């Protein structure tokens, strides 16, 4: 996570040193996890998520984007529609802290300096680094914390944004993160417990996901760009 934070800060400083048009703001909404405990709904925000977002608009169609977010995730077999999970009765909670860098692409021109009402759907992807609490199943069937861990994820985001004033933008987005770990729920312990017998459960061949559903509000600053060099 320290590496991703350093890269994010370096890129942010570089962007501000060559000002064209930027957006900075916040994101707030809900999160849900998809894995081996609890419900399997793809979009089912049941916990709180909050973060910050920064964009460097390199053209009217795309922007380099960085964000940070903290999201709580949880799962409870008692709330699952799967009878086997209900009978098993596992539950867990975890907190994900992520930093993401990538490219946001709009389906048609979106000029943050427009003097009229504009809106556009968009896609975002890139690379996400995140930290979380490593979990494990205990002999009593309880899922407990045992270490800190970090991994990477691929963000796949779709959203819709519109200007609400000359320099303010509002957006709604749904963003799934495909992670490269199967331990957000304690079903496949990592580090020193990776080879331990009797601790794994569920589908150990499928990694976990978490999904953010919420809104973004950003404010544009910097001079109106010329977009002719890129």
3-state secondary structure the chain: CHHHHHHHHHHHHHHHHCCCCEEEEEEEEEEEEECCCCCCCCCCCCEEEEEEEEEEECCCCEEEEEEEEEEEEEEEHHHCCCHHHHHHCCEEEEEEEEEEEEEEEECCCCCCCCCCCCEEEEEEEEEEEEEEEEEEECCCCCEEEEEEEEEEEEEEEEEEEEECCCCEEEEEEEEEEEECCCCCCCCCCCHHHCCCCCCCCCCCCCCCEEEEEEEEEEEEECCCCCCCCC
Nearest to 53 by CA among 223, 224, 220: 220
Q: What is the pLDDT averaged over residues 175-196?
A: 89
Tell me which CATH code domain 2-221 carries: 2.40.160.20
The pLDDT score that the predictor gives to residue 10 is 54
The pLDDT score that the predictor gives to residue 13 is 52
Q: What is the pLDDT averaged over residues 30-53?
A: 95
Q: What is the pLDDT averaged over residues 15-25?
A: 68
Q: What is the pLDDT averaged over residues 92-107?
A: 97
The pLDDT score that the predictor gives to residue 111 is 82
Considering the chain, what percentage of its residues have pLDDT values greater than 90? 63
Domain ranges of the chain: 2-221
The pLDDT score that the predictor gives to residue 16 is 46
In tens, the pLDDT along 186-216 reads: 998 888 787 777 788 888 889 999 999 999 9
pLDDT band at 1 (very low <50, low <70, confident <90, very high): low
């Amino acid at each position: 996570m320290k590496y991703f934070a350093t890269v994010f800060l370096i890129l942010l400083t570089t962007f501000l040193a060559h000002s064209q048009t930027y957006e900075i703001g916040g994101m707030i909404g809900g999160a849900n996890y998809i894995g081996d405990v609890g419900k399997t709904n793809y979009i089912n925000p049941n916990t709180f998520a909050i973060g910050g977002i920064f964009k460097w608009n390199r053209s009217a169609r795309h922007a380099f984007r960085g964000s940070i977010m903290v999201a709580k995730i949880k799962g409870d077999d008692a709330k699952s529609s799967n009878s086997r999970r209900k009978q098993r009765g596992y539950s867990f909670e975890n907190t994900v802290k992520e930093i993401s860098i990538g490219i946001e692409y709009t389906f048609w021109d979106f000029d943050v300096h427009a003097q009229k009402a504009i809106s556009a759907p968009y896609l975002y992807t890139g690379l996400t680094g995140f930290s979380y609490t490593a979990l494990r199943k205990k002999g009593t069937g309880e899922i407990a914390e045992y270490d800190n861990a970090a991994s990477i994820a691929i963000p796949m985001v779709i959203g819709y944004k519109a200007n609400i004033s000359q320099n303010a933008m509002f957006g709604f987005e749904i963003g799934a993160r495909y992670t490269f770990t199967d331990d957000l729920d304690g079903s496949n312990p990592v580090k020193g417990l990776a080879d331990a017998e009797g601790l794994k459960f569920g589908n150990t061949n499928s990694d976990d996901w978490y999904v953010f559903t919420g809104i973004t509000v950003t404010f544009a600053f910097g001079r109106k760009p010329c977009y002719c060099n890129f």
